[in-house]
Amino acid sequence: VQLQASGGGLVQAGDSLRLPCAASGRTFGNYVVGWFRQAPGKEREFVAHIRGSENTYYADSVKGRFTISKDNAKNTVYLQMNSLKPEDTAVYCCAADLTISTVRSGTARYWGQGTLVTVSS
């Protein structure tokens, strides 16, 4: 599975942004797809994952503000980010594997390149 993340940019605090993660080579199908982020000088952290179309899980730091969803027709997983804060500034990347544990632990086999999100105050 090849993953392509995009949609990053410079926004102001309180704005929204949607990041797509498109898959090629294989459909997402039974894969668990997750989003991670890495802020400057910090370790990579888990943001959210989705299995199927409705089984989702979020980090506490984004719960209620971010929504992960999947469009099977487009073979794309989206991360809708609302009420963005300066502390959301990071490089965001997506990952996929067959189990929740491997995705949540950051050991997924398939990773996309990152897309930079910068939130100004």
17-73 per-position pLDDT tens digit: 999 999 988 888 889 999 999 999 999 999 999 998 889 999 999 999 999 999 999
DSSP string for residues in 13-70: TT--EEEEEEEESS--TT-EEEEEEE-TTS--EEEEEEETTTEEEE-TTTTTTEEEEE
Q: What pairs with residue 66 in β-bridges? A: 81
> What tokens appear for 34 in the block?
């997750």
Q: Please list, in sequence order, all residues whose beta carbon lies within 8 angstroms of the beta carbon of residue 1, skipping any fewer than 6 positions away.
A: 23, 24, 25, 26, 28, 31, 96, 110
pLDDT number for residue 94 = 98
pLDDT number for residue 27 = 82
**pLDDT of 93 higher than 90:** yes
| Mean predicted confidence (pLDDT) in 79-86 | 98
Higher pLDDT, 96 or 53: 96
For all residues of the chain together, what is the average pLDDT?
95
In this prediction, residue 102 has a pLDDT band, given cuts at 50, 70 and 90, of very high
| Mean predicted confidence (pLDDT) in 96-115 | 95
